[in-house]
Structure 1
Amino acid sequence: MPGDPAYPKARLEFNRRVNKFPRVIVFCRSVRDVVNAVKWAREREVRIRVRSGRHSYEGFSTLNGGIVIDVSPMRKVSIDRHKRIATVQTGIPLGMLYSKLWTKRLAIPAGTAPDVGVAGLALGGGIGLLSRKYGLTCDSLKSVEMVVASGTNSAKRIVADNNRNADLLWASRGGGGGNFGIATSFKFRVKPIRDVAIYRILWPWKDLEAAYSAWQAWFPTVTDRLTTTIDLQSRQEGKIESTGQLLGSADELKRLIQPLLRAGTPIEVSVRTVPFIKAVEFFAESDLNLAPKFKISGTYAFKPLPPEGIRVLRRFLANAPNRHASVWSQSLAGAVARIPPTATAYVHRQARNILELSSRWFKDEEAARNADWVHRLRQALKPYTRGDYVNFPDLSIRDWQQAYYGVNFKRLTRIKRKYDPRNVFRFAQSIPPATAPRTALRKGSTR
C-alpha cells in the first residue's frame, strides 16, 4: 500500500511513461489469493486491474486508486514430456518459461522479450520466431484456469477447455488479457526442439528501401521453418538489421538468405547453429538497454508495401524525434494463416507481416512529440496496412474494436456478457458486455 517501503517499486510498469498510484497491490501466490482479492474489491466497489509481467504498453494493468491483482509470484511449471503438455502458472516471465521447457528439450511458439509475462502474451495472441512453423502462442493453448466474477460480490475459479466453457477458451486465444477474468494457469501443447540456425544481417541506413523491398518479397517464398524480422532504425541510429531463426542447419540458412544478401551492400553477416536456448538469449539482447519511456503502435501488412509505402517509412525515420525510433516487422503467414480468422479470437490470420511502430525517450518533456510521431506514422501507413495487434495497444486508435478484433468483436462481447455481465474487469479498451437482447412483445401485451 502507499507508504510501504516496497510500494514505489511495486507500482512501476515496464513502460515508465505510465505513472499510476494504486490504492493497493496484491501479489498473489495461489488461486485462493486471487479469489480473495477479487471478492475484497467487489465488496468495497474498488476498481480492479490484472497484472503479470507489467508489459501493458498503455498501462492497462494499473490504475490510480484501485487494486492491482498481480499474479507474478505464481510461476510453477509442470511438464508431461510423454504427452508434450506443460501446465504453466500465469505469472512466469517468458525467459524463465523457455528455460524450464528447455530442460526437457521442449518449447512453445512465443515472443523474444524475456521479462514479458506469459499471461498477456498468450491471451493476446503471441507472435515470435517459431510462428511460421507452429503458429501463435495462443494456438498451443489447450485450457485456461481463470478466476471470474460471480454473483453480486463474489468470485470463483473455472476451467475453459474444449469440453467446459469452450467459448471462453475461444476468447482466450487472442481476445486480450484482463477482459473476462484473471487467468491463473494455462495448459500448452509443447514441441520438441534442440539446435536451430540463426542469422543477422546489417545494412547501412541508405539501403533502407532496398533491404525492406527485398525482405518483404523474399520471406513468403522460403520454408515455414524460417521466421524472420527486419528492424528499420532511425537515420540517427544509422542501420537496418534483419534477423531470423530456422528449424534447420546453418548451411541451409546460408542458402536461404542469399536474396537478402544481394540487396544493397550488407556491412555485416553472421549465420550459425546454436542450441535453441542460446537463440532465445540472442534475440533477447535486442530488448535490453532501451530508453525506459515509449509509445508503441502496430499494424499489419496484408500485401507487400508499394514503393510509396516504403518511402513513408524512410521519410518518418529520416525525421524521427530521436535516435530510438524504429519500425520493426516480423514475417507471419505459414502456420498462423492455416487457422481461419474466426476459429480463434485472433482475427488477423491472413496478414503477411506485422509492423511495430515505436519511439522511446528519457525525459517527460519529450513525450508529446514522440507520441505524435508514432500517431502520424500510423496514419500515413493506413493506405497500405490495416488493423492492430491487441498486444500493441494504442489509445489513439478510435476504432480499436475493429482494429484489434474485426469480425470477432461481437462474439467477444457476448462471451463477456456471459462471464462478466457486470463488467467487473474493465479498462480503457476492454471488451464491453453485449447489451442483453430485448424480448419480443406478444400482440396486446405491455411491459
Structure 2
Amino acid sequence: MLKKVKLTGRIVTPSDPDYEQARINNNLSIAKFPSKIVFCQNAKDVVNALRWVREKNEPFRIRSGRHSYENYSLVNEGVVIDVSDMNHISINVADMTARIEAGADLGKVYRELWESGMTIPAGTESSVGVVGLTLGGGIGMLSRQFGLTCDNLLEIEMVGASGHLGAELLKANNHLNSDLFWASCGGGGGNFGIVTALTFKLHAISDVSIFSITWGWEDFEVAFDAWQKWAPYTDERLTSQLELKSKEVGEIVAQGEFVGSAHELKKLLRPLRKTGSPTSVWIKEVPYIKAVRFFDVPSGNVPALRKRSGSFIEKPFPHAAIRRMKAFLANAPNRNAEIWQQSLRGAVSQVAPNRSAYFYRNALIAQEYLTTWEKPQEENQNIQWIEDLRRALSPYTAGDYVNFPDHYIKDWPSAYYGRNFRRLREVKTKYDPFNVFHFPQSIPPVRKWI
C-alpha cells in the first residue's frame, strides 16, 4: 500500500492574495479557476504533487511558461502543477552543453547563455517557457542554421506516472528510453509526463546581422510573393519572418537574423530590396543579445484577450491564396489582427519527418493567424475571423504546429502530428497506459482511443 503523500512546494489557493496573479495565463479569453496551484521548487515536489493528485483522483494540469494558447495548462476546480519556480541553468562551457530546469523562460535562457558566448535556437517572446517550446518543436530566428529547439536537445528529465497511483523520475535520450525521447521532440507538452529539466547542446554566437524592410499596403501581393520565393531558399544562416498586418495598419514587414556580416546580408537581401517600393530598409550588425531583444515583441508577453491558430505552407502560395489573405486583412476585426510567417527549410528539413515526432520537416513556411481585442463582447467576431481565415487558406496549407493549438480543429491528430500520430500513441500507451496526463487534444493511449 502506498504511503500517503502531502503536497510540498509553494501552494496557492483561492483564499490567498496572490491567487489571481497565480491563476492567469497569457490568454485571458479562456478563464479557469483551479482549486490549488502548486509551485514546485524541485523534482521531489513534482513527484509529491503527481502522487497526491492520483491518490485523491483530482483533475490536474501541468504548467510552465503560461503560453498555452488554448489554456490547456489550466483546469477548473483542480490542481495546476506549476514548475516555473524551477529555473536554474547549469552551463558546461567545455562540453558546450547546458542543463536547463523546466521553469526557465526564453529571456532567462538567452541572457545566461549569452554570458558564456553561447545560445540555443529557440523562439522570440521572452516569457515563453523553454520546455513547452521544445516539446512542440521550437522555431525561431536561428532555425534555418541550427534546426529546431528539439533538434538540439540531448536529454530530458521527467516525472512520469507509474503503476496505479505512483510517480517516478525518468531520463530519456537517444540511448535511454529512446522512444520517449523521440516523442518528446515535437510530440507536444503535457502528453507523457512532467518535465523537470532539459539538457541541450549549445552553439557559439557573437555578432549577428539583422534587417527590417517595410512596404505599404499597395505592395502586399508583390512583397509576399517575393518573400515566399526567397526566404526558404536563401543562405541557411538567414532566417526571416513576415508580418502581414491589417489594412488599417497598412504595412507588410519583413525582418530577419543572419549569422554573418551586414555586408553579406545586404547582398542576400537584394531580391527583397528591389521588390515594390519599400518605405523603410535598414540593416545592422549587432551583438546577438541585442538581436534577441529586437525580435522580442512585448505585446506577446502581456496577458490579453487573444486567439491564435496556424498552419504550414509546403508549396508557394498561388496568387489566389495571396489575394485571400489580403481580403481577410482588409476586413480584419481590428487593427491588431495579422498573419505572421516564418521561413523554414535549411537545417529543419535535414531531419527526416519520422526521425522525431515533429512531422512537418519539409514545410517552406510556418504561419500563424492572430488577433487580440479589448472588450469581451468582441470575442466572437475575432474568433470567427481566425476560423474563417484558417478554412479559407486550408486548400493551400498543411496541418498546424502543435505549439499553435486550436480547439476548433477537428482532425487535430493529423493536423499536429501527420503520420507520426500512430507511433506517438504507442509511446503514450507504454509510458502512460492509464492516460493520467490528459487534456483536450492530448495524445491518447491506444486502448483509450475511440
Could you state the TM-score of these two structures normalised by the residue count of structure 2? 0.96
* Equivalent position amino acid for 1:144 in 2: I
2:138·2:148 contact (CA, 8 Å) conserved in 1?
Answer: yes
1:79·1:85 contact (CA, 8 Å) conserved in 2?
Answer: yes
3-state SS in 1 of match to 2:170? strand
Paired position in structure 2 for 1:373 = 385
2:295 aligns with one of 280, 283, 286? 283
Paired position in structure 2 for 1:183 = 195
Deviation at 1:188, TM superposition (A): 0.3
3-state SS in 1 of match to 2:421? helix
How far, CA to CA, are the matches of 1:285 and 1:382 in structure 2?
A: 27
Paired position in structure 1 for 2:254 = 242
1:314 aligns with one of 323, 326, 329? 326
3-state SS in 1 of match to 2:210? strand
1:149·1:424 contact (CA, 8 Å) conserved in 2?
Answer: yes
Deviation at 1:221, TM superposition (A): 3.3
Paired position in structure 1 for 2:362 = 350
How far, CA to CA, are the matches of 1:409 and 1:307 in structure 2?
A: 33
Paired position in structure 2 for 1:268 = 280
How far, CA to CA, are the matches of 2:301 and 2:85 in structure 1?
A: 25
Are 1:56 and 2:65 counterparts? no
Deviation at 1:163, TM superposition (A): 1.7
Structure 1 residues 342 and 258 mapped into 2: Cα distance closer, same or farther (>3 Å)? same
2:407 aligns with one of 388, 395, 415? 395
Are 1:163 and 2:178 counterparts? no
How far, CA to CA, are the matches of 1:353 and 1:38 in structure 2?
A: 38
Paired position in structure 1 for 2:127 = 115
* Equivalent position amino acid for 1:51 in 2: R
How far, CA to CA, are the matches of 1:109 and 1:57 in structure 2?
A: 21
* Equivalent position amino acid for 1:4 in 2: D
How far, CA to CA, are the matches of 1:66 and 1:415 in structure 2?
A: 26
* Equivalent position amino acid for 1:103 in 2: E
How far, CA to CA, are the matches of 2:448 and 2:165 in structure 1?
A: 21
Structure 1 residues 208 and 397 mapped into 2: Cα distance closer, same or farther (>3 Å)? same
Paired position in structure 2 for 1:102 = 114
Could you state the TM-score of these two structures normalised by the residue count of structure 1? 0.96
Structure 1 residues 436 and 309 mapped into 2: Cα distance closer, same or farther (>3 Å)? closer
Deviation at 1:165, TM superposition (A): 0.6
Paired position in structure 2 for 1:440 = none
1:39 aligns with one of 47, 51, 75? 51
1:226 aligns with one of 238, 244, 256? 238
Paired position in structure 2 for 1:126 = 138
Structure 1 residues 23 and 289 mapped into 2: Cα distance closer, same or farther (>3 Å)? closer
1:407 aligns with one of 419, 427, 432? 419
Unaligned runs of 5+ in 2: 1-12
3-state SS in 1 of match to 2:296? helix
Deviations 1:62-81 (A, max 9, x none): 01011100000001111111
Are 1:325 and 2:337 counterparts? yes
RMSD of aligned alpha carbons: 1.2
Deviation at 1:285, TM superposition (A): 3.4
Are 1:433 and 2:448 counterparts? no
Structure 1 residues 366 and 218 mapped into 2: Cα distance closer, same or farther (>3 Å)? same
Deviation at 1:181, TM superposition (A): 0.4
Deviations 1:401-422 (A, max 9, x none): 0000011001111111111111
3-state SS in 1 of match to 2:395? coil
Paired position in structure 1 for 2:17 = 5
How far, CA to CA, are the matches of 1:379 and 1:288 in structure 2?
A: 24
How far, CA to CA, are the matches of 1:228 and 1:343 in structure 2?
A: 25
Deviation at 1:363, TM superposition (A): 1.0
How far, CA to CA, are the matches of 2:183 and 2:217 in structure 1?
A: 42
3-state SS in 2 of match to 1:29? coil
3-state SS in 2 of match to 1:188? strand
3-state SS in 2 of match to 1:410? helix
Paired position in structure 2 for 1:444 = none
3-state SS in 2 of match to 1:244? strand
How far, CA to CA, are the matches of 1:241 and 1:153 in structure 2?
A: 52
How far, CA to CA, are the matches of 1:219 and 1:10 in structure 2?
A: 40
How far, CA to CA, are the matches of 1:280 and 1:436 in structure 2?
A: 43
* Equivalent position amino acid for 2:436 in 1: V
Deviation at 1:436, TM superposition (A): 8.4
Are 1:89 and 2:89 counterparts? no
* Equivalent position amino acid for 1:197 in 2: S
Task: Give the stretch that moved more between structures: 215-224 or 268-277.
Answer: 215-224
1:145 aligns with one of 127, 144, 157? 157
3-state SS in 2 of match to 1:382? helix
Are 1:216 and 2:207 counterparts? no
Paired position in structure 2 for 1:14 = 26
Deviation at 1:290, TM superposition (A): 6.6
2:212·2:281 contact (CA, 8 Å) conserved in 1?
Answer: yes
Count of residues in correspondence between the two structures: 437
3-state SS in 2 of match to 1:162? coil
* Equivalent position amino acid for 1:169 in 2: F
How far, CA to CA, are the matches of 1:228 and 1:289 in structure 2?
A: 21
3-state SS in 1 of match to 2:366? strand
Percent of matched pairs sharing the same residue = 50
How far, CA to CA, are the matches of 1:406 and 1:288 in structure 2?
A: 28
Paired position in structure 1 for 2:395 = 383
How far, CA to CA, are the matches of 2:14 and 2:57 in structure 1?
A: 19
